Structure 1
Amino acid sequence: MNSNLQAQTILLVGHGSREPSGNLEIQAFADLWRGREPQRRIEVCFIEFADVLLDVGLDNAAQHGGQVVVVPLILNAAGHVKMEIPEHIEHARLRHPQIEFVYCRHLGSCEEILVILKRNLRKALHELDVPDPRNTGVIVLGRGSSDRVANGELAKMARWLYEESDHDLVDIAFTGITHPRLESVVQRQIKQEMRQIVVLPFYLFTGTLIERIRRQMSRLQSQYPQVHFALGNYLGFEDEIYRLLQQRIVEATADRQPQMMECDGCKYREFAADHGQGHHHHP
């Protein structure tokens, strides 16, 4: 093993799901990554709904010594990325002062993610026998957050998808926390004479929300039998995700000078710290 990699542990942080298959997919993703790069030490933990949570994951990774590179397997920067993970890292630094903890950027809304969305859209259109895009609506469906910046990232991806396609309508919807919801956007697109509608989940892996989306799609098809629906894949194990993770690790570790974490200058986090507030997860 390369001496630099030998002193480095990658800690992959997944969100965690009440649906066990979601957590198992992240474990499988890590196994595939180990297969691609057997010289790397890769461990996994979760923010919630799992056996190995952040503190345990950080402590386990610290046992190897050297450097722990914390890699959030998360698309958008909301409370988990801006506040919760950094807080746990700060506590881990106190518990393990001899360890260098490095925090990577989240995946983000970027060209690599756009490539996957475009690929998933093409596959879904083939399921519909390649209809006219001008009367085929597209809905990019995200998790939803109380953080407006995170919600804006979804809108950015939808706009980029619109710019690089021939679809007259590319909208966004959310499964919770904020609006609009999927049913409302479907209704709006049908009123605008969309004959087919493709829903693209803006999710990395399966879980309870993906299962809920499938049930929603079944109900929508029954409610609007005159419209053809297709549900695209979630982002999953695509090569672009691996490349993004590698890029984030290089960005975080190339400069060995102490780095400002993405959340360190966040006014929201400064306000929370001044008022004694930590991160609270709302389902």
Structure 2
Amino acid sequence: MNTHEIILLVGHGSRHAPGNEEILRFAGLWRQRHPQQDIEVCFIELAEPLLDAGLDSAAAKAERVIVVPLILNAAAHVKMEIPEYLEQARTRHPKTEFIYARHLGANEQVLRILKRNLRKTLLEMDEPDPRNTGVIILGRGSSDRIANGEVAKMARWLYEESGHDLVDIAFTGITHPRLETVVKRQMLQGMAQISILPYYLFTGTLMERIKRQIMHLRTQYPQLRFGCAGYAGFEDEIFELLDQRVAEARGDGYETRMMECDGCQYRSGAEAHGHGRGHHH
């Protein structure tokens, strides 16, 4: 007999097997937090089971499937590919309800991770002066300007809440600027050390490339010190965001869309004083 609901966690998939293994381990940890939930895993590409097989498997066992993308930014996979597979699955399984949850996004939880990772890199460099310590948030890169803009948004939020004169963005591929270019700019602007914050969830071929790039940069710029944070996938905030996305998909009292003023200090202050309406900034 079918269960009522399965949560289908959708990872990107990687040619680097340890990255796929980390997603499976992440799913196991999420199950431990919610032993009453049926959580399955599939991948968009490069790893098994692929998305269509994952949808079929979940539909064969459940009346409702909540599809949750384990992805930070909404680019083509989130906006086009997963919805396309979902429509095909609805045709194949007309008796199963498929609900598409939101991606993780750029928000306060992700900002907390970035701030914590920045603090770790500064401690590793013996807490240098933030005014001459550059920060680079290093994203994957996309042809989707909104996805790239989410990285830029996080950089601005981090700048607002840190004492660093320079908080820039760079990308590992597809778009620009690239890491080497931003490092050169920050050096010319007087930075003595640079903290690099990868905007990634798990290891993979690109995380391995970042490690090699930083080795080359240390050789190229021996006068600079470099700190590099880890990726974010196993942080508590990622689990919290997924819980929130599932609750939104079920309609359990969450707004279904992130408000444009998410993270606004004026909104937070107004709510603290009992004022729920109006922006005057």
Alignment of 1:156-195 (within 5 A): 156-195=153-192
Identity across the alignment (%): 67
Alignment of 1:1-283 (within 5 A): 6-254=3-251
**Residues of 1 paired with 2:182 and 2:128: CA distance?**
20
**Residues of 2 paired with 1:74 and 1:253: CA distance?**
19
Name the stretch that deviates more: 14-23 or 247-256. Answer: 247-256
**Residues of 2 paired with 1:154 and 1:255: CA distance?**
29
Deviation at 1:35, TM superposition (A): 1.1
List structure 1 runs of 4+ shifted beyond 4 angstroms: none
Q: Which residue of 2 aligns with 1:266?
A: none
Deviation at 1:232, TM superposition (A): 0.7
Contact kept in structure 2, 1:139 and 1:171, CA below 8 Å: yes
The answer for unaligned runs of 5 or more in structure 1 is 263-283
TM-score, structure 1 length as denominator? 0.88
**Residues of 1 paired with 2:244 and 2:257: CA distance?**
16
**Residues of 2 paired with 1:169 and 1:124: CA distance?**
15
Contact kept in structure 1, 2:3 and 2:61, CA below 8 Å: no
**Residues of 1 paired with 2:220 and 2:252: CA distance?**
55
Letter in 2 for 1:137: G
Deviation at 1:26, TM superposition (A): 0.3
SS in 1 for 2:14: coil
Letter in 1 for 2:110: I
Deviation at 1:65, TM superposition (A): 2.1
TM-score, structure 2 length as denominator? 0.88
Contact kept in structure 1, 2:7 and 2:68, CA below 8 Å: yes
Q: Which residue of 1 aligns with 2:274?
A: none
Q: Which residue of 1 aligns with 2:273?
A: none
SS in 1 for 2:197: strand
SS in 2 for 1:66: strand
SS in 1 for 2:73: coil
Instruction: Give the count of matched residue pairs.
Output: 255
**Residues of 1 paired with 2:62 and 2:167: CA distance?**
48
Deviation at 1:74, TM superposition (A): 0.4
Deviation at 1:36, TM superposition (A): 1.2
The answer for unaligned runs of 5 or more in structure 2 is 259-281
Letter in 2 for 1:161: L
Q: 1:255 to 1:29 in 2, by over 3 A?
A: closer
Deviation at 1:37, TM superposition (A): 1.0
